[in-house]
Amino acid sequence: MINAIIGDIVTISEGEVILRAGYVEYRLLITGQTSSRLSQLQVEDRQKVRLLSVLHHREDSMTLFGFFDEQERDAFTQLQSVSGIGSKQALKILSGISVKQLALALDSGNVKLLSSIPGIGPKTGQKMILALRNMLVLDDEKTISPSSSKNGKLKKWTDILDALFDMGYDRKRSEEVLDTLLIQLGPQLESLGRHEAEELLFRNAIVALG
């Protein structure tokens, strides 16, 4: 298996990138999220770029998929365990929603949000929840700077804030709502595990934000 490819970016488009490694150029299919992150790189940073990869080998073709980070690659693999979702559909899903947003939607059972992804209907959204609930693990090490939050307690819930921001909600307003919910739901949250607490906060934040 090819775990990763390190090379210079030749071209980037919405859906693929070409990397030159030595005397070989590799075409990798990528998500919109990875495409956006690669496009934001400065010219000097487009050399020796490392993309994690997945190789699909069929009788008549070989396809390389590239990912900016491990979380996105894991999500791509996990999505294909759901009946009816293949590699192209998984790539499309991850182009329409961030991994953090996807994980929170799955864990909170948010069929409406999943159904808003192009190509995903309520039935497929429900199947995704049944198959992948609590299966996508986010990196809890990431925190936000104290200056970006009115309360240091919010640093623990960065994933929720990031997901709300990805959904289009104002970050400052989301912080205010989450800060209020932490006070209101404090005793209940203390009795829950990490995933259950995130689900509860995420559901209530969506309601509060309208």
> Has residue 140 been placed in a domain?
no
CATH number of the CATH domain containing 86 = 1.10.150.20
Does residue 137 lie in a domain region?
Answer: no
3-state SS, residue 45: helix
What pLDDT sits at residue 154?
Answer: 62
SS3 label, residue 85: coil
Of the given ranges (5-9, 55-59, 101-105, 188-192), which has the lowest mean pLDDT? 188-192
Q: Are residues 93 and 39 in the same domain?
A: no
Q: What is the CATH number of the domain that holds 35?
A: 2.40.50.140
Q: According to the model, what pLDDT value does residue 150 have? A: 41
Spacing of C-alpha 19 from chain mean position = 23
Domain-embedded: residue 40 = yes
What digits encode the pLDDT tens for the residues 18-39? 999 999 999 999 999 899 899 9
Domain C-terminal end among 27, 44, 67:
67
**Can you give the pTM of this predicted structure?**
0.67
Q: Are 30 and 60 in the same domain?
A: yes
pLDDT at 148: 35
Q: Which of 51, 67, 83 is the last residue of a domain?
A: 67
Q: Is 204 exposed, middle or buried (0-12, 13-18, 19+ CB in 10 A)?
A: middle
Last residue of a domain, one of 67, 86, 111: 67
Distant-in-sequence, close-in-space partners of 52: CB < 8 Å, separation ≥ 6: 3, 4, 66, 67, 68, 69, 70, 72, 73
Pairwise pLDDT comparison (1 vs 176), residue with the higher score:
176
Same domain, 57 and 103: no
pLDDT surpassing 70 at residue 144: no
In a domain? residue 138: no
pLDDT bucket at 96, cuts 50 / 70 / 90: confident
**Number of compact structural domains in the chain:** 3
121 and 173 together in one domain: no
* pLDDT above 70 (res 139): no
d(CA 61, CA 46) in angstroms, rounded, equals 28
User: Rounded mean pLDDT of the chain?
Assistant: 84
Q: Write out the residue range of the structural domain in which residue 168 sits.
A: 146-209
Is residue 139 domain-resident? no
pLDDT tens digits for 175-206? 888 888 887 887 787 787 778 888 888 888 88
In DSSP terms, which residues pair with 55 in a beta bridge?
64
Residues 170 and 199 occupy one common structural domain: yes
Whether residue 126 sits in one domain with residue 85: yes
Q: Does residue 9 belong to any structural domain of this protein?
A: yes
171 neighbors 129 (Cβ within 8 angstroms)? no
Question: Residue 47 corresponds to which tokens in the numbers above?
Answer: 């050399």
